[in-house]
Amino acid sequence: MQLYLPIADIPVNVFLILAMGAAVGFVSGMFGIGGGFLMTPLLIFVGIAPAVAVASVASHIAASSFSGAISYWRRRAIDPALALVLLCGGTIGTALGVWTFTLLRSLGQLDLMIALSYVVLLSTVGALMFWEGLRAILRVRRGVAIPMRRSGSHGWIHGLPLKMRFKRSKIYLSVIPVVVVGVVIGFIGAVMGIGGGFILIPIMIYLLRVPTSTVIGTSMVLTLVTMAFATMLHAVTNHLVDAVLALILMVGGVTGAQFGARAGQKIRGEHLRLLLGLLILAVGIRFAIELVIRPDDLFTIRELGGAA
Amino acid sequence: MNARTSFGAVLVLSTIFAVFPARAERLIVSVSNHRVTVTPNYSGEELVLFGSVEKDASTPASRTNYDLVVTVSGPRADMVTRRKERKFGIWINTDYRQFLKVPTYLALFSNRPFDAIASPEVQRRQQLGLNNVLLTQRVGPDYADVVPNDPFRSAFVRLRSEHGLYREATSAVTFLTPTLFRTGIPLPAEVPIGTYDVEIKLFSNGALVTRTESAFEIVKVGFEQFVATTARQNGFIYGLFTAFMALMTGWMASIVFRKD
């Protein structure tokens, strides 16, 4: 069934978009990530202008993460205090990111910067997660009891002042590293046009030592707020949010996210990390190949706004 | 609608007569639809342009073999064509050219190859064929069109043609009788919204005899138009609505799929 999108100005197949939304929603529900780094390239591939894709995906991620967050809230898998502190940092980071975005664009190499940061970030994070998950699985296979690796938790991070008790997560931690993490995620999200959940989760697990039980739900709250904010920003500044496209993506996305969240609960943590690591690595490698291999067409056309 | 069209045609014709009082032929043309509306199930359309060559007493009797060239040009926009080059092992955009106020849609139709219709000199002057259409580029501080085989120009035309937005068909115009003609104007789904100018040129023995113009528009109506104008004029409310819609969708889903 073909439907004409009022802002993107092209007709699309509704079922194709629904299916794409559902597939990305499933992944996002399962791993607790926004899935923007998957959805945006898919939409561009279908023929939607990159700017419209980025702007509309933000609202899709907001919907997916809200439905996910509600499920996690019911299971008491969200740490409200931790989410709030992260959000404080996230807001500052987003503002800094938007400023940097404008600066990079005036220098004229924004596309390249985005592609390079995708490659570096996705490959590194993906490879690390994959490696960690693999080691954990091997350890279980060999029957070695997993040591409660809480020893490292008393590193320099835990020597910082301004400590705060995060009851739901059962951790006692300085707010400084939490705010810094929020700033970094907000910054990366604004510059690269992604929610940043896939970076936030490993940082929370390995650096802040937040227990796995509250990590996903809490990161979803951060994604929800930043993406709802991003939707507003895109709508006000560029007028490029396609509400019809967003609605189709959302309906597919939230449905997929529900099933994904359930599937995620059934899979063991280390397997989940291995899978997510593989997925992120694959996307990172795909971007790397695109940069290295001679493109089919050396020329590209872009309209310079003001089509009247 | 028809009355208005013919009135418009008469108006255009009278201006032509003012410019070329000696011309003995007149072109009467009409497009099958002057207002293409974009609705939710819009997926492109094909218009038909038809018309006839009217002769009068002063037409030389020898003039019977007519050639016709139809140029359809969509709303104009600035575009940039970039070329990738290998630097430090990766392919990055290096050089680029700006095309200024070029048509977003451009179609050239004729009844036989342009080479058979007129000499290269006339082809260039009358902008017959994609190779001869003026596409202004900005090269540094200069504004100019370049030779047709310029790599940026040919890449631009090729990429637009791949999307069906630039096209050239030298057998698209058919003469039903020696003076009655028709041609189809295919509009692919991604054609931009706006006003389209149609220019019809009549040639005989390699020289321009007369020309006329027509136009049609592609407009969004109803829901499409409402969404587009709201997004543009009330960005804040539109954004608020979209964000709220996202939350509602998420909330609905969690109710629908609630297990307990």
Q: Which candidate from B89, B151, B220 shows the least CB-CB separation from A292?
A: B89
Test the A interface: residue of B102, B218, B242, B255 with most A CBs within 10 Å = B242
Contact A186, A91 (CB under 8 A): yes
Return the DSSP state at B59.
S
Give the chain A residue whose CA is nearest to the CA of B38: A4
pTM: 0.73
| Beta-carbon-side half-sphere exposure of residue A261 (alpha carbons within 13 Å) | 31
Residues of chain A with pLDDT under 70: 105-111, 144-159, 193, 304-308
Contact list in B for residue A294 (CB cut-off 8 A) is 86, 91
How high is the pLDDT of residue A307?
Answer: 34
Q: What is the pLDDT of chain B when averaged over all its residues?
A: 82
Per-residue pLDDT at B21: 45
- Taking contacts as CB-CB distances below 8 angstroms, the residues of chain B near A26 are none
Q: What CATH topology corresponds to B22-221? A: Immunoglobulin-like (2.60.40)
Give the residue from B206, B135, B130 showing the smallest Cα distance to B170: B130
Report the pLDDT value the prediction gives residue B259, as an integer from 0 to 100: 60
pLDDT of residue B72: 93
Which of B249, B258, B260 to probe the A interface (max A CBs under 10 A)?
B249
**Domain boundaries defined on chain B:** 22-221, 222-260
In this predicted structure, what is the pLDDT of residue B181?
92
Name which of B90, B98, B245 is nearest A243 (Cβ-Cβ).
B245
Structure tokens, A225: 């707020």
* Residues B84, A11: C-beta atoms closer than 8 Å: no
| Rounded Cα–Cα distance for residues A257 and A263 (Å) | 10
DSSP H or E run through B107: strand B106-110
A66 vs B251: CB contact, 8 Å cut-off? Answer: yes
Assign 3-state DSSP to chain B and report helix, strand, coil percentages, each to 5.
30, 40, 30
Strands in B174-175's sheet, in edge-to-edge order, are B25-31, B45-55, B180-187, B174-175
Query: Looking at CA atoms only, how far is residue B9 from chain A in angstroms?
Result: 26
pLDDT band at B49, cuts 50/70/90? Answer: very high
What's the length of chain A? 308
The phi and psi torsions of B25 (rounded to 5 degrees) equal: -105, 150
At B66-121, the pLDDT tens digits run: 889 999 999 988 888 888 888 888 887 778 888 888 999 999 999 989 888 888 88
Q: Tell me the per-residue pLDDT of B8-27, one tens digit each, with 9 for 90 and over.
A: 444 444 444 444 445 578 88
